[in-house]
């Protein structure tokens, strides 16, 4: 059974704070790690697809790192804004299906 775990479960920060969350996944038979952002009443939106150990990707104020040997990925948000409030999901690609973590729910207060 493939377990993908995310922490923390939820996070409340003030506007302007930087924050980060963790995704851990089994390192054996690793193919890719996906990060998604899911805002209430909207579809999950892909942020990053990462495959190589040591990969670092960036999109605006959001960045992610990947360590496939130890089985973890970090997502960083620099200078959080209220519009960053969402649930952030990571998922490990197992053969051809994504196994999702339960997500980190981020709330950014103005």
Partner 1 sequence: GAGVSQSPSNKVTEKGKDVELRCDPISGHTALYWYRQSLGQGLEFLIYFQGNSAPDKSGLPSDRFSAERTGGSVSTLTIQRTQQEDSAVYLCASSFKQRSEQFFGPGTRLTVL
User: By the criterion CB under 8 A, which residues form the site for partner 1?
Assistant: 31-32, 34, 36, 42-46, 49, 89, 91, 93, 95-103
Q: Which tokens is 89 given?
A: 């999901």
Least Cβ distance, residue 81 to partner 1 (angstroms):
23
CA–CA separation, 102 vs 54, rounded Å? 24
- HSE toward the beta carbon, residue 97, CA cutoff 13 A: 5
> Based on CB atoms, which residue is closest to partner 1, 80 or 88?
88
Q: CB of 106 within 8 A of CB of 87?
A: yes
Least Cβ distance, residue 36 to partner 1 (angstroms):
8
> Based on CB atoms, which residue is closest to partner 1, 17 or 44?
44
> Based on CB atoms, which residue is closest to partner 1, 81 or 102?
102
Q: Which tokens is 57 given?
A: 């990707």
């Amino acid at each position: 059974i493939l377990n993908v775990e995310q922490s923390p479960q939820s996070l409340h920060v003030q506007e302007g704070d930087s924050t980060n969350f963790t995704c851990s996944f089994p390192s054996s038979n690793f193919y890719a790690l996906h990060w998604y952002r899911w805002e209430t009443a909207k579809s999950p939106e892909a942020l990053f697809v990462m495959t190589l150990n040591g990969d670092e990707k960036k999109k605006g104020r959001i960045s992610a790192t990947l360590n496939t040997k130890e089985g973890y990925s970090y997502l960083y948000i620099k200078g959080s804004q209220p519009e960053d409030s969402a649930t952030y999901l990571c998922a490990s690609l197992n053969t051809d299906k994504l196994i999702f973590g339960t997500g980190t729910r981020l709330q950014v207060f103005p």
